[in-house]
Structure 1
Amino acid sequence: MTAASLPQFLQQYNIVAVLDASHPFAVEISQLAIATCKHQQIPYLRYERPQWNPESHSSSVIRHASTASTSHQLPTVSKSADSGQSQVPNPKSKIPNSPLLLDSFKSLLSSSYLAGQRVFLTTGYRSLERFKPWQDRAVLFARILPSVTALEAAIAAGFTPDRMIALRPPISADLERALWQQWQISMVVTKASGTAGREDVKRQVAVEPGVQLIVIARPEIAYPEQTSDLSVALEFCQSFCT
């Protein structure tokens, strides 16, 4: 879908409402849907899959990642009000055996966390190009979807066949653990995709072998209407049924 094709699609199929249930990191898709619905005056609701929570995996309402409770999160990278630059903990200090939440890929790649590490990237093929400059400063491995597009993206980003694996989720804890051990992984990079994205499995496995897990926080988007309650999303859809 594009800015030209989406309005045509909505008109062609007489769409009367849009429920945006795209991936938390699918920023362009959501922004396109929001702008188009506003222009077409079509009701819009964002269903945001719940953030990972160690105490409960229920579908409680979360308005924004930045306003959700972070009592369970460990060191978070923040922006300096004066310089606007990301302020990161000293990567040479002792890294705790617990997940580290960073606010963006930029914060990770502008630091030296990856230097000298055996890094397993489980962030999707679209992000691999970002890591290309790090190919000669760390040993990088990637998990991608079993598709030609994903394979081509990984190769273009400098990944050799022995440093990538194509698997379709969900990935069990046993398989996750086996991959990390096989490649002697010391650091894993993932996205805050919630339980639906198996973030809980990565957190679980990372504790066992002492691997450092780095979690990239969800990008903030100004959704006009948003819920993490599936029943609310269903009621929204049903309200337009005749």
Structure 2
Amino acid sequence: MPASQRRLWLIGGTSESVQLAEAIASVDLPYLVTVTTAAAKSLYPQTPNLQIQVGRLNGKQIEQLCQQQPITAILDASHPYAVEISRIAIATAQRFQIPYLRFERPRVEGDGGDEGGFSNIRVTTTENSETRPYKSVRAGFEQTLSSTAKPNSLNPPLQRNNQPGVITLDSFETLVAGDYLNQQRVLLTVGYKVLSLFQDWQARSTLFARILPGVTSLEAVIAAGFSRDRIIALRPPVPFELEMALWRHWDISLVVTKASGVAGGETTKRQVAAQLGIPLLVIDRPVVTYPQQTSDVAVALEFCQRYL
């Protein structure tokens, strides 16, 4: 295929994808960026070599895109929790033998230790998980789990984590099936798509939701049973001082977030949780088997140049 017809597909929608788009533009490579909202389009560089397509893509549309452009390499910089687009892109890449590289947002790791009355724990649903007693500084969160606890009990087995006060769960299903939210004042910073899972907890806890400003997210949070005085619409990153003020204003006793990395505000939430002595429940990233991945922009750029 002539070099003039080759085009890279950059799966966008994250701050990392904007950074990658700028790097690709700097070396004059032809590429297509796909985003799901019109608002995201304005974040990318304006260059003759860049095409931007707005809208969600299903499997058939992705196949058509790869054939019509035509796409000779895929750089996936989608959100860590946007697993559907990644899985479809991987399957399409394998079917048409297109090189694929996942650009994975770095994880946030704790600094270890044990202070402030918290234990370092990780919750999974595996039979062989190690269990350890723990006690929270919050009265409503105090409990001890014995080594004989069953994975399907209210609170599944625990494994050591690496930051005081942070509890990592493997899924939202584990969270809502357990007893973690009971009688708590909970701030949910998890996106609007999963808020319906918390409807049954509205009567047993006081739930607050922070969402992105937008009609779709606002409609979803109201449909999930949140009253207007328990909703705040903010676009991240949220500054440390504002994050702390919000938790204090609502007298939050437990915060739920995703393992979304620095760009998703995870570091700030960990810092505020440690400062205020509030437990932080982190929902781990979904498991996706990527053919190859990197968190290095230079490596990603070399990949793009190799196939264009």
**Whose radius of gyration is greater, 1 or 2?**
2
Kindly provide the CA deviation profile for residues 62-104 of structure 1, in whole angstroms up to 9, marking residues without a partner as x: xxxxxxxx999931112243876476269xxxxx961111111
> 1:144 and 2:144 equivalent?
no
What TM-score does the superposition give when structure 2 sets the normalisation length?
A: 0.68
Instruction: Rate the CA distance shift 1:43–1:85 in 2: closer, same or farther, 3 A.
Output: farther
Report the equivalent of 2:269: 202
Of 109, 122, 139 in structure 2, the residue corresponding to residue 76 of structure 1 is 122
Deviation at 1:108, TM superposition (A): 1.0
Report the equivalent of 2:233: 166
Aligned residues: 222
- Aligned residue type for 1:38: Q
Higher RCO, 1 vs 2 (CA within 8 Å, ≥6 residues apart): 1
Report the equivalent of 2:250: 183
CA distance in 2, matches of 1:190, 1:79: 19
Q: Aligned with 1:16: secondary structure?
A: strand
Report the equivalent of 2:79: 23
Instruction: Rate the CA distance shift 1:117–1:89 in 2: closer, same or farther, 3 A.
Output: farther
Q: Aligned with 1:5: secondary structure?
A: helix
Of 156, 168, 171 in structure 2, the residue corresponding to residue 101 of structure 1 is 168
Provide runs of 4+ in structure 1 moved above 6 Å.
Answer: 70-73
Q: Is the 8 A contact 2:125 2:156 kept in 1?
A: no
Report the equivalent of 1:59: none
- Aligned residue type for 2:188: L
Deviation at 1:213, TM superposition (A): 0.6
Kindly provide the CA deviation profile for residues 42-73 of structure 1, in whole angstroms up to 9, marking residues without a partner as x: 11111111111346xxxxxxxxxxxxxx9999
Tell me the percent identity: 53
Q: Which runs of 5+ in 2 are unaligned?
A: 1-56, 129-149
Cα root mean square deviation, aligned: 2.3
CA distance in 2, matches of 1:71, 1:219: 26
Instruction: Rate the CA distance shift 1:118–1:89 in 2: closer, same or farther, 3 A.
Output: farther
What TM-score does the superposition give when structure 1 sets the normalisation length?
A: 0.85
Of 261, 265, 289 in structure 2, the residue corresponding to residue 222 of structure 1 is 289
Kindly provide the CA deviation profile for residues 91-134 of structure 1, in whole angstroms up to 9, marking residues without a partner as x: xxxxx961111111111111111000000000111111111111
